[in-house]
Amino acid sequence: MSQDSSPIRVVSTFTSPFENSPPFDSNSSFRKPLSLWPGMYHSPVTNALWEARSSIFERLLDPTNDGPPQSELLTKTPSQSRISILYNFSSDYILREQYRDPWNEVRIGKLLEDLDALAGTIAVKHCSNDDSTTRPPLVVTASVDKMVLVKPLSVDTDLKVSGSVTWVGRSSIEIQMEITQSRGDCSNPSNSIALTAYFTFVACDSKTLKPVPVNRLLPETDQEKLRLEEGEARDRVRKRKREEKRQEFEKGGHNLHGEVGRLKALLAEGRVFCDMPALANRDSILLRDTRLENSLICQPQQRNLYGRIFGGFLMHRAFELAFSTAYAFVGQMPSFLEVDHVDFLRPVDVGDFLRFKSCVLYTQLENPLQPFINIEVEAHVTRPELRTSEVSNTFYFTFTVKQDDLRNGLRIRNVVPATEEEARRVLERMDAENSYFVKDVDKKKVKTNGSFGEIKARDAN
């Protein structure tokens, strides 16, 4: 990704966001200060982004803006919406403390939240026509492609996040995000890339909520043209997978050919745990015994421009629970590797009772020097008044452990399902992972795309 010449600098937020803000009178013509806008004070990154593009956000938030929706489509280049933000970890002590985890690495969950915030800002910039008489479209996160961390991130070294539009459809926008962190011994700039991700957004009319066309994209450089072609290929893959899911659902959800035997094999050891626990393999554990759960009420401070809960906030909370689940399972600090493709199926609103449920879905122990712990986290929107609970999102995270821990005798247990429903979830997840690696990854671009294949090939940190 080409570098932005003037990245936005992220600064620490150690003072109250309400300091130096004049009192706000709802009956006056004075515009609400930026510090009181939704999502402004929970992240230094959203603070920097919103300040940088205040004119667009003012139009989005202006309740008096009852103009017609944007109708004239513009043609924009990727550079017109490209944004880079710089974390000055090396010099800003307070910022460093805000992102430090207990092991002196960067809190991945906070970065996931920041990535979503930055990608959303880029999508808004691309969709805006800068006409104050029209109503900008509403832009929502539709999905996030698989994100793989190819090297650990230090909280003592400056870090940069960049993003730009790579592809647009009729109402869809794909944003490529890139995290880079250079070390003193890094002579090759490409070696500073720590993570690459693709966010897909959908533009809707802010009143009817129906999809609307977005501005066209005109790539200028050879690299931008290549990214457009790759974006079109990823869109075809997404459409193919949606069609495969639809056909599978119409056929009853499962292909029975060969599946019965796989289910029996998976359930065999689980039956021993349930029926003859004294004879069960002590190197294994039941899936249900790895579960953790937490819950929260979604607060107004966690909402985005449109009153919905940030997708990045959901990813942040899901990651924190997944990390805790892996930590409790392993007994040592786990190392994050990837978060799989995420579809945002159902919006989450302020006031929703949100429950996150996690488990170790399965482990991969074929390579004794680098085991993999696969964590599933489900986000449930629960409505006690209606006695209903609905899955909003399902997240899949992969962790490993450090080689030093393995050399010191750390052993990872095998996880086995005890019910047919658990076994089916395990098989579906394994098949999805295999399908991604075999069909969707060009092995010649493993390093560029940061695929799971590279993670399997390299040593654990």
- C-alpha of 159 from chain center: 18
pLDDT digits (tens, 9 = 90+) for 404-444: 888 888 889 999 999 988 999 998 888 888 765 444 433 33
Segment 378-404 shows an average pLDDT of: 91
CATH topology agreement for domains 1-253 and 255-461: yes
pLDDT on residue 134: 77
The CB density around residue 101, as the number of other CB atoms within 10 Å, is 15
pLDDT on residue 458: 38
User: Was domain 1-253 assigned CATH 3.40.50.300?
Assistant: no
Residue 17: pLDDT over 50: no
- State the burial class of residue 173 (Cβ atoms within 10 Å of its Cβ: 0-12, 13-18, 19+): buried
Residue ranges covered by each domain of the chain: 1-253, 255-461
Segment 144-169 shows an average pLDDT of: 92
- C-alpha of 223 from chain center: 25
Residue 11: pLDDT over 90: no
pLDDT on residue 173: 95
pLDDT on residue 356: 96
pLDDT digits (tens, 9 = 90+) for 87-129: 999 998 888 998 999 888 899 999 998 998 889 889 988 988 8
More confidently predicted of 222 and 303: 222
| % of the chain with per-residue pLDDT over 70 | 75
For the ranges 53-67, 201-215, 260-274, 362-376, the lowest mean pLDDT is seen at 53-67
Q: What is the CATH number of domain 255-461?
A: 3.10.129.10
pLDDT, mean over the chain:
79
Residue 207: pLDDT over 70: yes
Report residue 31: phi and psi, to 5°.
-80, 140
For the ranges 144-153, 260-269, 360-369, the lowest mean pLDDT is seen at 260-269
| Cβ-contact 176, 198 below 8 angstroms | yes
Both tokens of 310, joined, read 């940030």
For residue 380, give every residue at least 6 positions away whose Cβ sits within 8 Å of its Cβ, in sequence order, or none.
354, 355, 356, 357, 389, 390, 391, 392
* Backbone Cα Rg of the chain: 23
Residue whose structure tokens are 């005109």: 218
Residue 375: pLDDT over 80: yes
Report residue 110: phi and psi, to 5°.
-65, -35
pLDDT digits (tens, 9 = 90+) for 248-295: 666 655 554 567 777 888 888 888 888 888 888 888 999 999 999 999
Residue 58: pLDDT over 90: no
Q: Which of 136-150, 167-181, 336-350 has the highest mean pLDDT?
A: 167-181
Both tokens of 28, joined, read 């006056």
pLDDT band at 217 (very low <50, low <70, confident <90, very high): very high
Segment 376-385 shows an average pLDDT of: 91
pLDDT on residue 53: 54
pLDDT digits (tens, 9 = 90+) for 170-197: 999 999 999 999 876 555 666 789 999 9
- Residue 8, classed as helix, strand or coil, is strand
pLDDT on residue 226: 94
| % of the chain with per-residue pLDDT over 90 | 36
Residue type, 32: K
pLDDT on residue 338: 93
With a threshold of 0.85, does the pTM exceed it?
no
pLDDT band at 460 (very low <50, low <70, confident <90, very high): very low
Segment 224-249 shows an average pLDDT of: 84
